[in-house]
Amino acid sequence: MSKGDHLQTLLKNFVDSQQEIEIAFLYSNQGLLISKYLKEEESSSNTDDSEGVYGAITTLVDNLLNKISLEYKIGNYGTGSFETADHRIVYVETGSEAILMLVCNYNINLNNLFPIAYLVAEKITQLLEDSFDFRFNTLGIPNLNIDESINIGLENFEIKPAKTIINGVYADHQIKRTENVKKMFKLIVLGDAAVGKTTLVNRFLRKEQIGDYRPTLGINIATQNYYVQGYKDDIIQFLIFDLAGQEFFKRVRHEYYTGANCAFIVYDVTRKDTFNEASNFWFNDARKELGNIPIVLVGNKMDLVEQREVSTEEGVAEASKLGCSFIETSALENLNIQDTFKIVGIGLFFQSLEDLEDYDEI
């Protein structure tokens, strides 16, 4: 597949995975259309693009892009959203070469959309820069059920009062950083023995797959740097604590809980007992020790379809009951791992920015 095909596939996967996104446009920093994807139901209802709703939206997006280009230096658009009578339009800088514009249903939850939009922007940037590594990354969009504890706190970036950009269009939010920061977040990975915690962490660290099972002896600690797309000088450092699940080590685990910013509680979808322990023991234990930090319930080994004992629906329902996020992964096949860690990092990064004076307004 060509680079253009990869970009088209990525936009399609993104739009189709988000019910409230109608159209995605990818423009160069010179205003040239690189790629676009129109949701099928929208496309089928507009047979004449030049006269239909699609044509009108395209013209509106072109006008907004011209306005953004005048407001910002080339390659430094920032991120934000506009409001019209019928739509929310989101823009996300994708490296120094392009900008992603999303036309969304007015009722979309922007707090949930932005972390995924930043993730997609990173994938686009890597494709444009020929640095996309298919060994550890995919063009798919993770089906991560995001709890409200993992969002970017968009209310902190509202423009009050909203500013008129062009007739009938108002600037709603704007995020644009001018000073560099470094943030460290401690992530703890919990769960019973042999559910795949260490392999999952190794996949995020981009280590090669270990074929045999080697139980963690008490604890493994690793670090990994990451940056949010558009904030390349703002470094996120993950400090990852992989805690052993064997009964012998449970009594000393609390020493390593202190200061955790997020917990991943992992179970094996082929072992119902590990699912029960995840919700009945590990979740309650983490909540008791750490309070209301973000928690992600992770169903690992989703590739072992025929051996499943816990359905996806059961995982979603349990996470909803517990009030946490949910994702299924395959450490063996490297599915959803990089993206899940990154989305969590994006949410934590923006939540940590208490001093908003470093942000410019449109």
pLDDT of 214: 43
92 - beta bridge partners? Answer: 79, 100
Query: In this structure, what are the phi and psi dihedrals at residue 206, rounded to the nearest 5 degrees?
Result: 65, 35
Q: What is the dihedral of CA 173, 345, 117, 287, to 10 degrees?
A: -80
The count of C-alpha atoms lying within 13 angstroms of the C-alpha of 187, restricted to the half-sphere facing its C-beta, is 27
Q: What is the mean pLDDT of residues 230-252?
A: 67
Highest-pLDDT range among 119-133, 172-186, 239-253: 119-133
Q: What is the pLDDT of residue 309?
A: 98
145 Cβ neighbours under 8 A, 6+ residues apart: 316, 319, 320, 325, 326, 327
Answer whether residue 333 shows pLDDT above 80: yes
pLDDT at 360: 42
- N-term to C-term CA, the chain: 39
Q: Which of 350, 352, 343 is nearest to 173 (CA)?
A: 350
Residues 218, 244 contacting (CB under 8 angstroms): yes
- Residue 228, pLDDT > 80, answer no
Q: Is the pLDDT at 275 greater than 90, yes or no?
A: yes
Is the distance from CB of 334 to CB of 133 less than 8 angstroms?
Answer: no
Confidence bin at 354 (pLDDT 50/70/90): low
- Supply the pLDDT for residue 221: 67
Confidence (pTM): 0.85
Domains and CATH numbers, the chain: 3-175 (3.30.450.30), 182-351 (3.40.50.300)
pLDDT score recorded for residue 217:
43
* Weakest mean pLDDT among 110-114, 149-153, 195-199, 354-358: 354-358
d(CA 143, CA 177): 29
Token pair 């769960």 is found at: 191
In tens, the pLDDT along 107-124 reads 999 988 998 999 999 999
pLDDT of residue 248: 47
Distance, in Å, from the CA atom of 275 to the CA atom of 335, rounded to the nearest integer, reads: 19
**42, amino acid identity:** E
* Number of other residues whose CB lies within 10 A of the CB of residue 257: 19
Which pLDDT value is given to residue 26? 96
Express each pLDDT in 132-182 by its tens digit. Answer: 988 888 999 988 888 888 878 888 888 888 888 888 899 888 887 656 667
Mean pLDDT, rounded, for 196-214: 67
Which ranges of 72-205 does DSSP label H, i.e. alpha helix?
110-128, 197-204
Residues near 128 by beta carbon (within 8 Å), at least 6 away in sequence: 3, 7, 94, 95, 97, 98
Q: Is the pLDDT reported for residue 106 higher than 70?
A: yes
Residue 47 pLDDT? 53
**Farthest CA pair distance, the chain:** 69
The two tokens of residue 339 are 């993206």
Q: How far apart are CA 131 and CA 228, in angstroms?
A: 16
